[in-house]
Amino acid sequence: MPVQDFIAAIDGVRLACQTVTPDTDTAEIAPAFPHNAGSDGDSPTIIMLHEALGTIRMWRDFPQRLANATGLSCLVYERRGHGKSDPQTVVPRPVDFHNEETDRFLHGLITSLNLNNPILFGHSDGATIALKYAARFPAIPRAVISLAAHAFVEDVTIDGIEMAAQTYANTDWKSRLERHHFDQTDTVFRAWVDTWRQPAFRTWQMIDELPAITCPALILQGDDDQFGSNDQVTTIANHVSGPVTSHIIPNCGHIPHLETPDAVIESVRHFLDTNFK
């Protein structure tokens, strides 16, 4: 079956996971990666890391489209405190919370599932975690694909979060998020906005870690991203040590994989063909 749900227990924490495999009956499939599967047929897995309010379902049909376009299986999981995963226990989160996500949970998931040479695909906070992991475990990822990552904190980011907090308080956004996060909705929202609004978070950055990234990197962002400027893309591209491709997607906001999915998939296919042919 193209989609299979399961639970992975990482260091005593249950994380909801889903595997999405290429649908060979889909006419649009034109795999970008099968020539790199290796003689043993052990293809890399694309690990998908969601944004601050994300869940498996909120990726919609994009994981299936990505699997079909690349010929690779995708592993989608919900971080602690999201969706059907175990609850988050500390809110606001520590300023360095990305480190726990990389060192404890993402690394634990990769090792427990024996995923060799994974390709990390992250959006927003998930993209920051993907970049962090590639920097802290440079020998493991085969590549990293970043959509709308943050390498440092900007005024536009905090302004966007303040606006999001007002929207959450004054609209039906909470009830819409409850379809995905259930009774964890308030906590996951607070874990996002209260963490980023801490005074100590204004000086957070991971620029110093970027040179440790040696695997090929694809850095994407919309030209109308309400949570980050184009300086994020430039900074990341200028500091990583491995091959890097960067692209600002026109007429696109903070969620490129839903706003301009065709452009994202084409960028990913070209990136894989260029770096792994």
Burial bucket for residue 240 (CB in 10 Å: 0-12, 13-18, 19+): buried
> What 3-state class would DSSP assign to 64?
helix
Q: Where are the beta strands (DSSP E) in the chain?
A: 3-10, 13-20, 46-49, 74-77, 119-123, 143-147, 217-222, 244-249
- Coil, strand or helix: which one is 44? coil
pLDDT in tens, the chain (277 residues): 689 999 999 999 999 999 999 998 764 555 666 544 443 457 899 999 999 999 999 999 999 999 999 999 999 999 999 999 999 989 999 999 999 999 999 999 999 999 999 999 999 999 999 999 999 999 999 999 999 999 999 999 999 999 999 999 999 999 999 999 999 999 999 999 999 999 999 999 999 999 999 999 999 999 999 999 999 999 999 999 999 999 999 999 999 999 999 999 999 999 999 999 7
All structural domains of the chain, each given as residue ranges with its CATH number in brackets, are 3-21+43-276 (3.40.50.1820)
